[in-house]
Chain A
């Protein structure tokens, strides 16, 4: 694929998950540049840094120290400069109410961290591909949640 490289920002305090993400990304046939921050405060500081280019998409963990993913999403969606930044929630937990609330707050996708590595690769690949295709529009509610098993996604 000759597409230009995608700038990705990952906010996750879990070192293991950061490694998994990086390794998965490396094995996907997409040229991407990954920058990682480890908590919400660090994330917001990075985004407000003028010298930093706003990434193409943000993978946001929910449970982070100092500032949670929820708070970050709110701030991003309130900020005129950041409002268009596609935010993909990347979390272990899965609570229907939480998922609904995040959708309403403008998150692009909700990825439930898969247990099987190959599924992780799949879901990241799918996300990068579909977002480019859809021109970053928010999907319908039933397609909001992504799992590794992309055939039967969103039906829980």
Chain B
């Protein structure tokens, strides 16, 4: 309302006298009736003043007499009515037409002014007045009856307050509120509004539909009744916080539906602030994410169905697809994964890093790797070897296997229970203890395909993305399996090493015993034998003339027997000492060795008219002392086992070449060997003895024919072994023998 312009108009119009005298008189008559004749003059004066006063009032004012005829009115009233009421005719109201606020016409004699005059009742109501030009104004009349001295109504004064603008504003609000509630009711979300202090004064229709409540029940803080009593304190706490701070509120909590089932809602509340920044209103929505989940699950299912169809179409392709799917799953993940585990972490540290890695990727509350273990015959349990609880490594635990998802995992493949785990396995104490809602486990197999443990995640809430978690578990499982297998091998190795060490110790102590035995043999066993010989020779010498030929023969045989045994003992000692005697390798000319042996065996060579033909002799890295012994024994054998009446001829050759050049599989192909060949033209031996002749005490002939202890070639073999070499013997009976020696050359 342009309140500032009206007083000016009233002021200007007040200068022209608008009210006719009779009107004044009429009024003064009325006054005359009530106040008496004596005051007529004073009244007249006051009437003039009254009219002036009226004109100064910026709102529409008029008076009526007791019958309802309009007496006085000011300019503002003329402006409002759009006309000047006809004096003496216009009754009750200066308007042309009036209406109730709902638009129904109101008879003039029922207007508030009329009621006030006729009944003395003051009606406070809104009315609409219509001007002759058809424009309508909303006004609130404020009629006040005027009483005379006797208490009778002598007239009334009415002020008309223009509220047209207010009404229009209100209409707009009503319209927008209607639009808003239509909108609010049409959305799927539950919506509500609260005052700044949190008092909820409005809910949309969806709210009442979902909760099955009435506005009466819900008013103010009535909403608490549809909350889960367990979660309510948290909701209240956060809501109070928002009210106190004016911060927006966001939370997921269950709301009970009309069907008494709780569903999860994402609730968001935004504050509406006034100019001072004070919250005057809260606007909240509750979004049913339960439905969303169902929807996405349906979507997933249809995707799965389609995938299955594709998979069935080609079994082979499916396998490849799986591999590709895993490899494709996330290249970055795999790179990250391999980078993270390419280090040298082993054992506990490694398993810990695996579970920690899974947690980092999935945020699963409990992640663990467990080993299947057994107590007694039928009691199985899981012993964790790495465990995280809420992202941090925790102390390992043990829990019984039966009646839980782990048992199924151990028996089968992947098991995924993203939710309702405790309901599925009501007997399982571990699930209760850890408050498990979702569970995904994957078995770990050893190299033979036996399940030896598992890798699993347990979640206190539903597992949101079981496919991803499963894929990660599968990948990590492979790595865990390898490590478990490696540890198993390592343990076997340690065990083997231990038993080897034990055996080594045994061998060492046996060796010591053997050495002391060898010493005893060398001394104590030989002494009696020597004495038998000494006594025999003493008797043969001193008592020669007293002995018969037979007696002498027996003494000689006794002497020989004792001597043979002494030789045997000496040979055995030589054999056992071959191990520990000097082992200094020298690059030696084989010609020198042969020359020395020739010197040693000079007499025998001469006696048998033997010849040694040593050609192409090379240098060899050998233990000279031992190699001389070797040559001595082989050449000695060649002389001993020569054919009667045929002079022994011994050929010795040597060359250095790669192993591959020689026809012997025991040689390394690319290694250089010194090959020494010693052959004779003696009696030879049957080929089947070619290996046996190197064994201790192996004799192919009776000692009457060829004496010897059967140790000579055993010593040869041992010397060759000391040289890391190989010796083979080849022969046919009557065709001589050939010895092939291979020793490593540089």
With a 10 A CB-CB cut-off, give which of A20, A23, A63, A115 has the most chain B CB atoms. A115
Q: Residues 511-525 of chain B: 1 if any A CB is under 8 Å from the residue's CB, otherwise 0?
A: 000000001001100
**Does B600 contact A16, Cβ atoms closer than 8 Å?**
no
A-contact 0/1 string along B551-564, CB 8 Å cutoff: 00000000000110
CA gap between A20 and B538 in the complex, in Å: 9
> Are B534 and A116 touching (Cβ within 8 A)?
yes
Contact residue among B541, B577, B581 (Cβ-Cβ distance under 8 Å from A118): B541
Asked if B148 lies at the interface with its beta carbon under 8 angstroms from chain A, I say no
Q: CA of A113 to CA of B531 in the docked complex: distance in angstroms?
A: 10
Cα-based distance from A95 to B538 in the complex (angstroms) = 27
Q: Does B300 contact A (CB under 8 A)?
A: no
Since A115-B566, A116-B537 are in contact, a sample of 17 more A-B pairs with Cβ atoms closer than 8 Å, ordered by chain A residue number, is A16-B531, A17-B531, A20-B538, A63-B523, A92-B526, A92-B527, A92-B530, A93-B523, A96-B581, A115-B530, A115-B533, A115-B537, A115-B563, A116-B534, A117-B541, A120-B534, A155-B600
Determine whether the beta carbon of A113 is less than 8 Å from that of B538.
no
- Counting CB contacts under 8 A, is B529 at the interface? yes
Say if the beta carbon of A75 comes within 8 Å of chain B.
no
Report which of B530, B563, B577, B581 forms a contact with A113, defined as CB distance below 8 A: B530
Is A115 within 8 A of B529, CB to CB? yes
A94 to B530, CA, bound (A): 13
Closest Cβ–Cβ distance, residue A64 to chain B (whole Å): 12
Question: Which of A14, A96, A118 contacts B537 (CB under 8 A)?
Answer: A118
A91 to chain B, nearest CB (A): 8
**Binary per-residue interface labels of chain A (88-106) against chain B in the complex, 1 for a CB within 8 Å, 0 otherwise:** 0001111110000000000
Contact of A93 among B526, B531, B533, B538 (CB under 8 A): B526
Which residues from B are CB-within-8-Å of A16? Answer: 531, 534
28 examples of A-B residue contacts, CB within 8 angstroms: A14-B527, A16-B534, A17-B531, A20-B538, A23-B538, A63-B523, A91-B523, A92-B523, A92-B526, A92-B527, A92-B530, A93-B519, A93-B522, A93-B526, A95-B522, A96-B581, A113-B530, A114-B530, A115-B529, A115-B530, A115-B534, A115-B537, A115-B563, A115-B566, A116-B533, A116-B534, A116-B537, A117-B541
Contact of A94 among B522, B529, B533, B562 (CB under 8 A): B522
The answer to whether B562 and A115 touch across the interface, beta carbons within 8 angstroms, is yes
A10 to chain B, nearest CB (A): 16
Contacts of B581 in A (CB 8 A): 96
A residues whose Cβ falls under 8 Å from a Cβ of B: 14, 16-17, 20, 23, 63, 91-96, 113-118, 120, 155
Q: CB-nearest residue of chain A relative to B582?
A: A96
User: How far does the alpha carbon of A52 sit from the alpha carbon of B537 in the complex, in Å?
Assistant: 36
Nearest Cβ on chain B to A71's Cβ, whole angstroms = 16
Number of B residues, CB within 8 Å of A: 19
Bound complex: CA A32 to CA B531 (Å): 24
* Contact residues of B: prevailing secondary structure: helix
Interface of A is mostly: loop
Chain B contacts for A14, CB-based, 8 A:
527
Q: Which residue of B lies closest to A95 (CB)?
A: B522
Nearest chain-A residue to B526 (Cβ)?
Answer: A92
Q: Which residues of B contact A94 (CB under 8 A)?
A: 522
Contacts of B522 in A (CB 8 A): 93-95
Q: Which residue of B lies closest to A62 (CB)?
A: B523
- Which residues of B362-418 have CB atoms within 8 Å of chain A's CB atoms? none
Docked complex Cα distance between A110 and B220 (Å): 124
In B484-541, the 8 Å CB interface with A consists of 519, 522-523, 526-527, 529-531, 533-534, 537-538, 541
Q: A117 and B534: CB pair below 8 A?
A: yes
B563 / chain A contacts, CB cutoff of 8 Å: 115
B599 nearest in chain A by CB position: A155
The 6 closest A-B pairs by CB, nearest first: A115-B533, A93-B523, A115-B530, A117-B537, A117-B538, A116-B537
Q: Residue of A at shortest CB range from B574?
A: A156
A94 to B563, CA, bound (A): 16
Residues of B with C-beta under 8 A to A93: 519, 522-523, 526
Q: How far is the CA of A20 from the CA of B536 in the complex (A)?
A: 12
Among A20, A114, A116, max chain B CB count under 10 A is at A116
Complex Cα distance A16/B527, Å? Answer: 10
B534 touches A20 (CB 8 A): yes
Collect the chain B residues with CB atoms within 8 Å of residue A113's CB. 530
User: Given the complex of chains A and B, what is the CA–CA distance between A14 and B523 in angstroms?
Assistant: 13
Q: A91 to B531, alpha carbons, bound, how many Å?
A: 13
A115 to chain B: closest residue by CB: B533
* Chain A residues, CB < 8 A from B541: 117-118
Q: How distant is the Cα of A150 from the Cα of B577 in the complex, in angstroms?
A: 25
| Residues from 688 to 728 in B contacting A, C-beta threshold 8 Å | none
Q: How far is the CB of B212 from chain A (nearest CB, A)?
A: 108
Distance, CA A83 to CA B527, complexed state (A): 30
Q: Which of chain A's residues have a CB closer than 8 A to the CB of B600? A: 155
Residues of B within 8 A of A155 (CB): 600
CA distance A14 to B581 in the complex (A): 30
Distance, CA A116 to CA B600, complexed state (A): 22
Minimum CB–CB distance from B566 to chain A (whole Å) comes to: 7
- Complex formed: what's the CA distance from A20 to B531 in Å? 9
Shortest beta-carbon distance from A9 to chain B in Å: 21
When chains A and B are docked, how far (Å) is the Cα of A91 from the Cα of B533? Answer: 16
- Per-residue contact bits, chain B 593-605, to A (CB 8 Å; 1 contact, 0 not): 0000000100000
- Interface positions of B from 292 to 312, Cβ below 8 Å from A: none
In angstroms, how far is the closest chain B Cβ from the Cβ of A150?
16
Q: How far is the CA of A120 from the CA of B537 in the complex (A)?
A: 11
**Using Cβ atoms and an 8 Å threshold, which residues of chain B touch A95?**
519, 522
Expressed in whole angstroms, the Cα–Cα distance for A96 and B522 within the complex equals 12
Query: Which residues on A sit within 8 Å (CB–CB) of B530?
Result: 92, 113-115
Contacts of A118 in B (CB 8 A): 537, 541
Rounded to whole angstroms, the CA-CA distance of A116 and B577 in the bound complex is: 26
When distances are taken between beta carbons in the complex, the residues of chain B under 8 Å from A116 are 533-534, 537
Residues of B within 8 A of A120 (CB): 534
* A contact residues around B523 at 8 Å (CB): 63, 91-93
Residue numbers in A under 8 Å from B577 (CB-CB)? 96
Question: Distance (Å) between the CB of A28 and the closest chain B CB?
Answer: 14
Q: Which residues of A contact B519 (CB under 8 A)?
A: 93, 95
CA distance A113 to B526 in the complex (A): 10
**Complex interface: chain B residues within 8 A of A20 (CB):** 534, 538
* Complex: A14 Cα to B541 Cα, angstroms: 22
Q: How far is the CA of A116 from the CA of B556 in the complex (A)?
A: 12
Within 8 A of A (CB), among B533-591: 533-534, 537-538, 541, 562-563, 566, 577, 581
Alpha-carbon gap, A92 to B533, bound state (A): 13
CA distance A93 to B516 in the complex (A): 13
Residues on A with C-beta less than 8 A from B566 are 115
Q: How many angstroms from the CA of A115 to the CA of B529 in the assembled complex?
A: 8
Smallest CB separation, B606 vs chain A (Å): 15
**Shortest CB distance A21–B (Å):** 11
A83 to chain B minimum Cβ distance, whole angstroms, is 28
User: A92–B534 Cα gap in the complex (Å)?
Assistant: 13
Q: Shortest distance in angstroms between B597's beta carbon and chain A's nearest beta carbon?
A: 12
Complex CA–CA separation, A114 to B526 (angstroms) = 11
Residues of A close to B531: CB separation below 8 A: 16-17
CA distance A155 to B523 in the complex (A): 20
The residue in chain B whose Cβ has the minimal distance to the Cβ of A116 is B537
Query: From residue A14, how far is it (CB to closest CB) to chain B in Å?
Result: 7
In the bound complex, residues from chain A placing their C-beta under 8 Å from that of B533 are 115-116
CA–CA, A115 to B540, complex, Å? 13
Across-interface contacts of A114 in B (CB, < 8 A): 530, 534
Nearest chain A CB to B572's CB is how many angstroms away? 13
- Bound Cα distance A95, B529 (Å): 18
